[in-house]
Structure 1
């Protein structure tokens, strides 16, 4: 699967699910419920991970201009018991979505196989001309069927993996503009190395560093501090050189008011 980048909405909606049965309880005889599980983040924020995303934000601006689509893989997850026959599930674009029909495509056989708790659902999101100045938002929603209930009021915290959040509606937002990754900030975020987010800094990372669009991957781990220090050094040298060559006209952020400063973000005490 394509790497999912620029992640801006990493929302872990961890709420308790009032169900007496395990997510994978083969002895459960009631009608099962169906949820969606997002892609894995990897080991997040120094925990034992991995977590699952409960929302995806994606920007085509991090890729070559020839990239016209990507696939987000979601997992339809059964809460209840297994059965010895295939079960059908259905998903739709929720009415709160703001997307055109030709900007996305569901890729699935819409089947939970016999003796299984999971199915497969790919969501192909497409780059359209309007996304250079706008964003599309698709809310993928599970629909009740003869085989599955849909709990419309609560999400389920998977009892088999406490870092996994299951949802009945999964938002995917995409654009062709730079968007701030939520994990820029945090215990291991880039703000600890180059300060607060601006689009100018983001573009410099894409243009100057060897990581390009992949820098999002190591925002989630302490294992990549060397890369973060390298980003810090490269950007500091570039900004210093630019300012030296443009006396009295320092490199500015996109607001044209504040100069670009590559330094650790100060934390109020």
Structure 2
């Protein structure tokens, strides 16, 4: 028996309701649809939800020893739940994607399935922490494609299930990841650490200092507050620690370069000897 998708949408997806009349294709009762949807907000004390079609991530708030991170694109289905696994198809939109697979991210697209008895899944993408992220934001764009199990009925839909809200249109077939590791110079570095300890601030030097000393952006933000690692009295220790690390790297034949390509250097009292490379 043929059912109109509009009837299904009104029952299960009130956020699709619109005052505009629109021709909607018919589908058989055994047909199933698939679409991207990330829950971004649920209003407390109500059934109202808001949705998104993208994820933004920054490594700036993570410890330096994390070299990668896994992000997920949530996928939901329309139609019956069945008692067998159903593969679905996702591709990377290479025209819109600025990240390079194998260098900036890793993804496995050959084993994606909606498990038996379920109506949702996730597409995992492992993003890799590279120096490129210190300078610019990269983007990965995924697209759902139809196969023998699922149709892409929802090209776009409203970003909330609250039918009285106007809402924004989001994509049901396109999901975007953006990621970077952008930093801004902490005031504490400028006022206390630059002249006598670490020298001129750069994003890469900031990353190295945090990695070697076990610091986070929060430690810089609340410097000299009780309970945070960055304290004025510890600056000489931190500067010595970073100098020892940089010198060891240089002596081992792996000198660390800064954002400008020159060998990384600290303030005069903590200079690293790069004479072997001159």
Give 2:177's aligned residue. 172
- Asked whether the equivalents of residues 61 and 177 of structure 1 are also in contact (C-alpha less than 8 Å), the reply is yes
Q: CA deviation at 1:91?
A: 1.0
Change (3 A) 1:79 1:90: same
2:7 maps to 20
Post-superposition offset of 1:152: 6.6
Work out whether residues 89 and 145 of structure 1, in 8 Å CA contact, stay in contact via their aligned partners in 2. Answer: yes
In 2, distance between residues paired with 1:152 and 1:136?
27
Higher relative contact order (CA 8 A, sep 6+): 1
1:159 CA displacement:
5.7
Secondary structure of 1:21's counterpart equals helix
Indicate conservation of the 8 Å contact 1:24/1:81, yes or no: no
Structure-to-structure mapping, 1:196-207, within 5 angstroms: 207=220
Structure 1 position 133 matched with structure 2 position 135:
yes
Distance 2:221 2:173 in 1: 40
Change (3 A) 1:121 1:130: same
Distance change (3 Å), C-alpha of 1:43 and 1:148:
closer
SS at match of 2:71: strand
Q: 2:121 aligns with which of 103, 119, 122?
A: 119
Given that residues 34 and 78 in structure 2 are in contact (C-alpha distance below 8 angstroms), is that contact kept between their aligned partners in structure 1?
Answer: yes
Larger Rg: 2
Whole-angstrom CA distance in 1 between matches of 2:42 and 2:162: 17
Q: Deviations over 1:89-108 (max 9, x none)?
A: 01111131111012222357
Contact 2:48–2:162, Cα closer than 8 Å, also in 1: no
TM-score by length of 1: 0.51
Contact 1:74 1:120 in 2 (8 A): yes
- Quick check: 2:69–2:128 contact (8 Å CA) kept in 1? yes
Deviations along 1:99-147, whole A, 9 cap, x unmatched? 1012222357411122321123222111122221122100111111111
CA contact (8 A) 2:134 2:183 kept: no
**Does 1:71 find its partner at 2:70?**
yes
Tell me the matched-pair count: 170
Q: Is the Cα contact below 8 Å between 1:136 and 1:173 reproduced in 2?
A: yes
Measure the CA separation in 2 of the matches of 1:100 and 1:154.
Answer: 27
Unaligned runs of 5+ in 2: 14-27, 185-215, 226-278
- State the match for 1:55 in structure 2: 54
Maintained 8 Å contact 1:59/1:178: no
Any conservation in 1 of the 2:49–2:161 contact (CA below 8 Å)? no
> What residue in structure 1 maps to residue 258 of structure 2?
none
Aligned to 1:15: none
Alpha carbons 2:81, 2:118 under 8 Å: kept? yes
2:151 maps to 149
Residue number in structure 1 paired with 2:222: 209
Task: Tell me: CA distance 1:148–1:204, structure 2 relative to 1, closer, same or farther (3 Å).
Answer: closer
For 1:75-90, list aligned pairs within 5 A.
75-90=74-89
> Could you state the TM-score of these two structures normalised by the residue count of structure 2?
0.49
Give the SS at the match of 2:7: coil
Q: CA deviation at 1:30?
A: 4.2
User: Secondary structure of the residue that 1:119 maps to in structure 2?
Assistant: strand
